[in-house]
Amino acid sequence: MRIATTIFLTDETIAPVPLARALEERGFAGLYLPEHTHIPAVRASPYPPGGDLPREYGRTLDPFVALGQAAAVTERLALGTGITLIAQHDPIDLAKQIATLDHLSGGRFTLGIGYGWNKEEAADHGVPWGRRRDLGRDRLALMRALWAPEPTAYDGEFGSVPASLAHPKPVQKPRGPLTGPRTLIGGAAGPKLFENIARDADGWLPIGGRGLTEAVPTLRAAWAEAGRDPGHLQVVPYAVRPDAGKFRHFADLGVEEVVLQLPPAGETEVLRALDAFAAFL
């Protein structure tokens, strides 16, 4: 099983370069970074786990800039977002950022996408909250038109692009209905989400990994109904606390990659956590 990590990198934590080097030196599989452009100081949206919103949410580094630094000092480390708030981006700009990072890293990028929980943050980007999932799907389809091997037009509900010259292309080759980098969708288990994954993604990025015994068979059924190759579905439990029994359970479900949660801390504390996690490699 591949063991990757995620962390809220901020202006107060370990920097991307020493973290990426430490991960590759120890044999970890990858680094995934979350995204928040800003957190409005006055908001009505509750923090999903409950309680006060942790300090790091309002201080996150831009994941693409940070992953670019990580790519430059590593050769094997996979790089990903967990997650990109896709509805909050201009899709033409985002397609270029993603293709460039995938190109420069030699095809090491994974696009983890989600639809967010902070209504106020999304509103500042002009996102109609009730339709953010529809908007996100439209954004992804437009980006895939730009990533297509030949100039391809896209005319969607929320955006369009004419057949265009758009390079570099992502290194990863088209597979089934998908073009572009490996794509995982985050979110809570449910028929709508599983329909989206089966249509638009390579797999699911469930936070914490609870409830997978019931959810994975349901996702596999949606995947099969969409005509996707059953061997290509990927389920990647995200922001997991390491535990040997948990890993055995994941393996029984066919999970091949797990993403462990690192503390949003300085270099000494993060490296100490990595050394503890290395016992599971």
Q: What is the pTM of this model?
A: 0.97
Q: What is the pLDDT confidence band of residue 91, given thresholds at 50, 70 and 90? A: very high
Cα gap 71→48, rounded to integer Å: 31
Q: Given the structure tokens 């449910």, which residue do they identify?
A: 190
| pLDDT of amino acid 129 | 97
Cβ–Cβ < 8 Å for 224, 204: no
Cα gap 126→277, rounded to integer Å: 40
| pLDDT of amino acid 175 | 87
Q: Mean pLDDT check: name the lowest of 41-45, 57-61, 122-126.
A: 41-45
Q: What is the Cα 265 distance to its own chain's centre?
A: 21
Strands 78-81, 30-33: pairing is parallel
Cα gap 253→30, rounded to integer Å: 21
| pLDDT of amino acid 226 | 96
Cα gap 44→13, rounded to integer Å: 28
pLDDT at 212 over 90: yes
- Mean of the per-residue pLDDT values for the chain? 97
Mean per-residue pLDDT for 182-188?
97
Mean per-residue pLDDT for 240-266?
96
Cα gap 16→13, rounded to integer Å: 9
Q: What is the pLDDT confidence band of residue 56, given thresholds at 50, 70 and 90? A: very high
Cβ–Cβ < 8 Å for 237, 210: no
Percent of the chain topping pLDDT 90: 97
| pLDDT of amino acid 176 | 82
Q: What is the pLDDT confidence band of residue 51, given thresholds at 50, 70 and 90? A: very high
